C-alpha cells in the first residue's frame, strides 16, 4: 500500500512537494482553498514529469494517486507526512497548525516549508512541527534544511532520503536557517549594486552564472576557497585574503531604502532581461539546465550528483523485458539527449547502450571490485540501428542478449523498448576482456567466464537477432 503525504498550501513550493512525493510513489492529498490550485499544481507536475525522471538511469516507482480536498482534515487523514507551505505569516501558520494537530495522525511527521521562522516560533501554540525547508524547484533540488526535535528530524531525514532528497539537519535553530542567510546577504548586496548604478540585474546574473555559480554547484564555498589557496590550502587562502574582510567592499547589513523608485528600477531591468519569456518557459529552461548539470555531477558523484546516485541505487529494476531477456537499463529520456529535430540524438543511443553493457558486465561478475583488481572489458566494435523515433520523456527499457563469446570476448545485442511490437533501436557490441596493466586481451578470472557462459547458454534459447554485423568473418 502506498504511503500518503498531505500538502497544505499548493503554491510554488507546495506544488513542488506534491510532485516530489507523487513521482516517488507516494499518494498525495492537497488542501488549498485557492480555486486555481489544481491548475497550478497540474502545471508544476507537468514540468516535474518532464524533468525529474531524466536524472536517473533507473525507473522511478509508479506514480501515487493525487487528490484534492475541500477540508484540511480530509487531506491529512491517514498521512505519514504533512507539509505546511502556506504564506510566511506566523498568525496564518499558527491557525493552520492548530487544524493539523487536531486532525493529523499522532505519528505523522509535520513539516513546515518556512524559510525564516524557527520551530520554537511555529510551535508557540502547542504544535509539534519541524522545519523542513526545501528549495525551488522542490522536485529537482535535493536540499532540505531540517530544524527541530532531534528524534523528529531523524525520522524526517529517513523519509526524505527515500524520495531522493538531501536532508541537512541544523545543529540549533536560527533565523532563516543556513542557505537563506547566504542568499539574503547576496540579495542585499545585489540591491545596492543596482541602486547605485554599478550593475544591472542582467549583469549581476551573468557574474553569478558565468563564474562562481558553476564552482559552487559542485564544490560549495569552503572547498572552492581551499583550491584557491593553491598547494598550501585553506590556511594560505585565509592568510592572503583574510585582511580583505575589514575593507569596505560590501554593505551586507546595510539595506537600501525600499522605495517605489527602487522597485520600478529593478522590475524594469528584470522585464528587459527576461520579459520575452513566460514564467512557464523560464521554468522549463531552468529545469532543462538543472537536469543537464546534475547529470554531469552524477558522473563523479559530486554535490547533487551523489544524492542522485544514492537514491538510484534504491530503485528497483525489472528482471526481464518484453522479450523475456534480462533488463539492463530503464530510464526516461532527458531533454539533454534530444536534438534540434525534437527526438533523441545519435550519440545518446551509444551512451544508453554503453550503460546497458556496464550492467551486463556487473551481472557476469565484472563489477567495480573486479575492475579495481585490474581486469575489465573494453568495447571493440559497435553497430547502432535506429528503428523508431525516441522522444523527450519516453521511458526506455533496454534488454540484453549474449549472442556469442567465451568470456575473453562478449558479443552483446541490446534492444531498446518504448512500447509497440518491436524495439525502437538496437545496439550490437563486441567487448574484449583486458588486463588493465598490460592493455592486452586475457582470459577472465574467478567465476566471470562461468557466469558469462551460463548466461550465453540461457540466451541461446531465445530467438537470435535477424541481423548481426559485428564479429563476422573478414573477406
What does the block give as the cell for 104?
493529523
Give the residue, 23 or 239, on which the prediction is more confident.
23
**Do 287 and 361 meet the contact criterion of CB atoms below 8 Å apart?**
no
The most confident of 77-91, 202-216, 337-351, by mean pLDDT: 77-91
Burial 180-202 (b: 16+ CB within 10 A, else e): beeebeeebebbbbbeeeebbbe
User: Across-strand partners of 67?
Assistant: 29
CATH of region 327-459 = 3.10.129.10
Where residue 475 falls among pLDDT bands split at 50, 70, 90?
very low
User: Across-strand partners of 8?
Assistant: 31, 84
Where residue 347 falls among pLDDT bands split at 50, 70, 90?
very high
Average pLDDT, the chain: 92
Where residue 173 falls among pLDDT bands split at 50, 70, 90?
very high
Where residue 154 falls among pLDDT bands split at 50, 70, 90?
very high
pTM metric for this prediction: 0.85
What does the block give as the cell for 168?
541537512
Where residue 472 falls among pLDDT bands split at 50, 70, 90?
low
**Structure confidence by residue, pLDDT tens digits, 197-225:** 999 999 999 999 888 888 888 888 888 87
User: Across-strand partners of 166?
Assistant: 143
Q: What is the mean pLDDT of residues 174-198?
A: 92
What does the block give as the cell for 85?
507551505
Q: Of all residues in the chain, what percent carry a pLDDT higher than 70?
A: 97
**Structure confidence by residue, pLDDT tens digits, 425-471:** 999 999 999 999 999 999 998 899 999 999 999 999 999 998 888 75
Q: Which segment of 139-143, 393-397, 408-412, 471-475 scores lowest on mean pLDDT?
A: 471-475
Burial of 229 (0-12, 13-18, 19+ CB in 10 A): middle
| Maximum distance among all Cα pairs of the chain, rounded to whole angstroms | 85
Which helix (H) or strand (E) covers residue 122, if one does?
Answer: helix 119-122
pLDDT of residue 458: 94
Cβ atoms within 10 A of the Cβ of 255, count? 12
Where residue 312 falls among pLDDT bands split at 50, 70, 90?
very high
**Do 468 and 403 meet the contact criterion of CB atoms below 8 Å apart?**
yes
**CATH for the 180-276 domain, from 1.10.1040.10, 3.40.50.300, 1.10.3720.10, 3.40.190.290:** 1.10.1040.10
pLDDT of residue 223: 86
Cβ atoms within 10 A of the Cβ of 55, count? 26
**Do 145 and 170 meet the contact criterion of CB atoms below 8 Å apart?**
yes
- Spell out the CATH class of 4-177: alpha beta
Domain ranges of the chain: 4-177, 180-276, 327-459
pLDDT of residue 474: 42
CA 26 – CA 3 distance, rounded (Å): 5
What does the block give as the cell for 269?
531591468
Of 354, 346, 377, which is closest to residue 451 (Cα–Cα)?
Answer: 377
SS3 content of the chain, % helix, strand, coil (to 5): 45, 20, 35
pLDDT of residue 317: 85
Cβ atoms within 10 A of the Cβ of 104, count? 25
pLDDT at 254 over 80: no
**Structure confidence by residue, pLDDT tens digits, 315-325:** 998 899 999 99
Tell me the three state secondary structure of residue 469.
Answer: coil
Phi and psi angles of residue 251, each rounded to the nearest 5 degrees, phi first:
-125, 50
Of 277, 246, 13, which is closest to residue 132 (Cα–Cα)?
Answer: 13
DSSP string computed for 396-434: EEEEEEEEE--SSEEEEEEEEESSSSS-SEEEEEEEEEE
Q: Is the peptide bond before 137 cis (omega within 30 degrees of 0)?
A: yes
DSSP 211: I
Amino acid at each position: 500500500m502506498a504511503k500518503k503525504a498531505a500538502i497544505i498550501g499548493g503554491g510554488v513550493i507546495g506544488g513542488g512537494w506534491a510532485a516530489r512525493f507523487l513521482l516517488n510513489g507516494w499518494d498525495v492529498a492537497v488542501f488549498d482553498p485557492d480555486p486555481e490550485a489544481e491548475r497550478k499544481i497540474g502545471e508544476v507536475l507537468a514540468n516535474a514529469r518532464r524533468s525529474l525522471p531524466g536524472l536517473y538511469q533507473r525507473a522511478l516507482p509508479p506514480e501515487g494517486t493525487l487528490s484534492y480536498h475541500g477540508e484540511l482534515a480530509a487531506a491529512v487523514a491517514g498521512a505519514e507526512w504533512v507539509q505546511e507551505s502556506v504564506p510566511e505569516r506566523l498568525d496564518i501558520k499558527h491557525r493552520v497548525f492548530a487544524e493539523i494537530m487536531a486532525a493529523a495522525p499522532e505519528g505523522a511527521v509535520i513539516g513546515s516549508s518556512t524559510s525564516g521562522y524557527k520551530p520554537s516560533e511555529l510551535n508557540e501554540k502547542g504544535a509539534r512541527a519541524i522545519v523542513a525547508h526545501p528549495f525551488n524547484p522542490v522536485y529537482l533540488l535535493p536540499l532540505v534544511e531540517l530544524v527541530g526535535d532531534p528524534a523528529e528530524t531523524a525520522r524526517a531525514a529517513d523519509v526524505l532520503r527515500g524520495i531522493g532528497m538531501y536532508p541537512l539537519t541544523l545543529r540549533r535553530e536560527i533565523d532563516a536557517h543556513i542557505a537563506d542567510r547566504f542568499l539574503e546577504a547576496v540579495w542585499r548586496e545585489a540591491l545596492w549594486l543596482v541602486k547605485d548604478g554599478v550593475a544591472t540585474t542582467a549583469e549581476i546574473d551573468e557574474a553569478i552564472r558565468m563564474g562562481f555559480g558553476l564552482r559552487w554547484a559542485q564544490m560549495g564555498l569552503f572547498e572552492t576557497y581551499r583550491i584557491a589557496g593553491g598547494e598550501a590550502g585553506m590556511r594560505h587562502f585565509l592568510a592572503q585574503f583574510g585582511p580583505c574582510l575589514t575593507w569596505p567592499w560590501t554593505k551586507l547589513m546595510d539595506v537600501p531604502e525600499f522605495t517605489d523608485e527602487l522597485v520600478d528600477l529593478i522590475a524594469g531591468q528584470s522585464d528587459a532581461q527576461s520579459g520575452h519569456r513566460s514564467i512557464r518557459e523560464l521554468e522549463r529552461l531552468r529545469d532543462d539546465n538543472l537536469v543537464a548539470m546534475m547529470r554531469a555531477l552524477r558522473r563523479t558523484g559530486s554535490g547533487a550528483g551523489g544524492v542522485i546516485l544514492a537514491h538510484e541505487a534504491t530503485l528497483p529494476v525489472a528482471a526481464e523485458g518484453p522479450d523475456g531477456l534480462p533488463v539492463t537499463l530503464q530510464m526516461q529520456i532527458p531533454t539533454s539527449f534530444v536534438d534540434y529535430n525534437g527526438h533523441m540524438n545519435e550519440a545518446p543511443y551509444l551512451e544508453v547502450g554503453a550503460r546497458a553493457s556496464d550492467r551486463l558486465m556487473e551481472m557476469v561478475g565484472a563489477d567495480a571490485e573486479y575492475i579495481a583488481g585490474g581486469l575489465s572489458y573494453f568495447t571493440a566494435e559497435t553497430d547502432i540501428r535506429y528503428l523508431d523515433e525516441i522522444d523527450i520523456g519516453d521511458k526506455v527499457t533496454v534488454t540484453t542478449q549474449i549472442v556469442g563469446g567465451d568470456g575473453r570476448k562478449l558479443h552483446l545485442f541490446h534492444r531498446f523498448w518504448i512500447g509497440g511490437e518491436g524495439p525502437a533501436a538496437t545496439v550490437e557490441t563486441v567487448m574484449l576482456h583486458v588486463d588493465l596493466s598490460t592493455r592486452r586481451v586475457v582470459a577472465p578470472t574467478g567465476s566471470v567466464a562461468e557466469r558469462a557462459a551460463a548466461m550465453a547458454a540461457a540466451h541461446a534459447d531465445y530467438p537470435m537477432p535477424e541481423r548481426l554485423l559485428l564479429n563476422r568473418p573478414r573477406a
